[in-house]
Amino acid sequence: MNTIKVMGDTYCIDVGNSYIPFYKLNEKDIILLDTGHIHEREMIESAIEENEFNIKGIINSHGHPDHVANNQYLKNKYNCLIAAPMYEAQICSSAINLKAYYNDNTLTEIKDKYGYMLFETDFYITDKQNEINFCGVEFRIFHTPGHSPSHICITTPDNVGYVADALVSYEIIETAKIPFDFVLLEDLKSKDKLLSYDCDIYIVAHKGIYDDITNLIADNIAFYIHRAEKTYELINGRMTMGEIVKQASIKFNVNLSNIYKYDMIRRMLQCHTDYLYETGKIRLVIDKGFRKYERKNNPLNS
Ligand SMILES: [Zn+2]
């Protein structure tokens, strides 16, 4: 049994690296909030089967591979409905749309590596929408763009807030080398906005349950800025993105053994270089036909 009662009819499945919340409509029927990573499918299914649950619906917080990977599989198996933020639902609606996320990959690679991320959405959640009546139950929506383009937090009728990836737990703060964000500056604004997200209990996807997130918000903001500063320290003279990735792999001891890992690290570092650019710490230059980053205080310029 790997289910945890959070409050009232809100529970979550512990799948090791993350919590997958669910809301019980009755003894049998449940609504899942996200569907985990492809490797977590067996654990999710065994929790559902042990409890003889029936999935009536899925609400997604955002369209990342570790949150939507089992959407279509579970939809086919349980004939359930899916609600998801509109933009990310459309991204995950076809391989060619998914290329907007993974523009470094070819369409063939996307079909081979990320095909499991595709799903059909029944209800689109717009960025103007603050609640959704889903399977006869009212969930509130709190918008936190930044980690992904239209990331949302979902509040169950028990006033339990699922913050998904808008925050990470202390365990991740202590161990993550390069946390991922789509647009870090926007994510930091959303993290700050979470101070007004008023719930009785909060579930963080990776991975914790808290009754107060005030300190966690401040510590998340400090952690993300600190990691971006670590990327800043890698930039020596004028460097291409490839050179920054190479430097990061040495300094942070990151394994770049295949293209998948390389692309992932590059995307993570890109979120830092974007942030450093937006906050005026670095500039972009064209140097002998190469697109390069340099610190604004680069002594080569003086
Ligand atoms: Zn995510």
pTM, two decimals, is 0.94
CATH class entry, domain 3-225: alpha beta
What stretch of H or E contains 172? helix 170-175
148 Cα to the center of ligand 1, angstroms: 7
Helix (H) or strand (E) holding 14: strand 10-14
- Assess whether pLDDT exceeds 90 at residue 179: no
Q: Is 195 exposed, middle or buried (0-12, 13-18, 19+ CB in 10 A)?
A: exposed
Q: Is the pLDDT of residue 301 over 80?
A: no
In one-letter notation, the amino acid at residue 122 is D
pLDDT digits (tens, 9 = 90+) for 135-168: 999 999 999 999 999 999 999 999 999 999 999 9
The amino acid sitting at 4 is I
How many angstroms is it from 159 CA to the middle of ligand 1? 22
- pLDDT higher than 80, residue 302: no
The CA distance from 31 to 84, in Å, is 13
Distance 30 CA to ligand 1 centre (A): 23
DSSP-derived 3-state class of residue 118: coil
pLDDT digits (tens, 9 = 90+) for 188-224: 999 999 999 999 999 999 999 999 999 999 999 999 9
N-to-C CA span, the chain: 64
Domain spans of the chain, in order of start: 3-225, 235-301
Question: In whole numbers, what is the pLDDT of the chain averaged over residues?
Answer: 95
Q: State how far the Cα of 10 lies from the Cα of 296, in Å rounded to an integer.
A: 49
Place of tokens 């990061």: 248
pLDDT band at residue 257 under the 50/70/90 scheme? confident
CA of 147 to the centre of ligand 1 (A): 6
Residue 124, strand partner residues: 84
* 235-301 placed in CATH 4.10.240: no
The pLDDT tens digits for 223-245 are 999 999 999 999 999 999 999 99
Centre of ligand 1 from the C-alpha of residue 290, in Å: 31
CA of 64 to the centre of ligand 1 (A): 5
Alpha-carbon distance 171 to 4, whole Å?
19
pLDDT band at 101 (very low <50, low <70, confident <90, very high): confident
242 CA to centre of ligand 1 in angstroms: 24
Which residue do the tokens 């064209």 mark? 286
